[in-house]
Structure 1
Amino acid sequence: MFRIVKGDTVQVISGSEKGNRGKVIELTKDKNKVKVQGLNMVKRHVKPSQSNPEGGIIEKEAFLHISNVMIVDPKSDKPTRIGAGYDKDGKKVRVAQVSKEQLD
């Protein structure tokens, strides 16, 4: 089970994008990488096709390793580690370590 899921707000903690925040838009479980909206932008040369008749150079997000991002605590607005806890029904949920707030 990953501690970060699609839709979470994360902060980059190392690399050229350090300190920037964004929302997770894609996750690859086999390679342990995340794609964050608006961060780690790369340029790709694209051949003309039916979906993109112009072709040319496009800018899109590249993957970051999951160890280089931390989830942002919704209550304190700081990066936090994530632990496991249980709700009233006994279901396992993610818990922010800074504020002890449930994330699920």
Structure 2
Amino acid sequence: MANKVHVKKGDTVYVLSGKDKGKKGKVLRVIPDKSMVIVEGVNMSTKHVKPRNAYQQGGIIHQESPINSSKVMLVCERCGKPTKIGKRILENGEKQRVCKKCNEVIDVIKKAKED
């Protein structure tokens, strides 16, 4: 079973620790099996690439590497501050992600199954 990660693809996050501490970026990819996320412009690594055929050019590529999801915190769109995420269940069975600081709804997680 995959681990649950508190952020989703497309969320804006704040980096809490490491060499990129204090940076903000958008989540490009979530890897729940390893509890890792890839954030735009954070934890850049250098990769040397060989040309694979006559038409492709080799060289040095700079790309984002994954970081642990525990090192990032979601940034609320309304208040603009890094915040913890709360969950709220509505009467109709929908779940919502909620900002703990300003109590603003971030998004709806999923709807309940209809019987």
TM over 0.5: yes
Residue 27 (structure 1) aligns with: 30
CA–CA distance in structure 2, aligned partners of residues 33 and 75 of structure 1: 26
Are the counterparts in 2 of residues 32 and 65 from structure 1 also a CA contact under 8 Å? yes
- What is the deviation of 1:84? 0.6
Instruction: Give, as a single letter, the amino acid of the residue that structure 2 aligns with 1:23.
Output: K
CA–CA distance in structure 1, aligned partners of residues 20 and 7 of structure 2: 18
Q: How many equivalent residue pairs?
A: 103
Q: Describe how 1:43-82 pairs up with structure 2 within 5 A.
A: 43-50=46-53, 53-82=56-85
Residue 112 (structure 2) aligns with: none
1:97 partnered with 2:114: no
CA–CA distance in structure 2, aligned partners of residues 72 and 80 of structure 1: 6
CA–CA distance in structure 2, aligned partners of residues 26 and 68 of structure 1: 15
- Provide the alpha-carbon RMSD of the alignment: 1.4
Which structure features the higher share of strand residues? 1
Paired residue for 1:18, among 16, 21, 33? 21
* Structure 2, unpaired ranges of 5+: 108-115
* Structure 1, unpaired ranges of 5+: none
Look up the SS of the partner of 1:70 in the other structure. Answer: strand
Q: Max radius of gyration: which structure?
A: 2
Q: Percent identity?
A: 43
Are the counterparts in 2 of residues 94 and 103 from structure 1 also a CA contact under 8 Å? yes
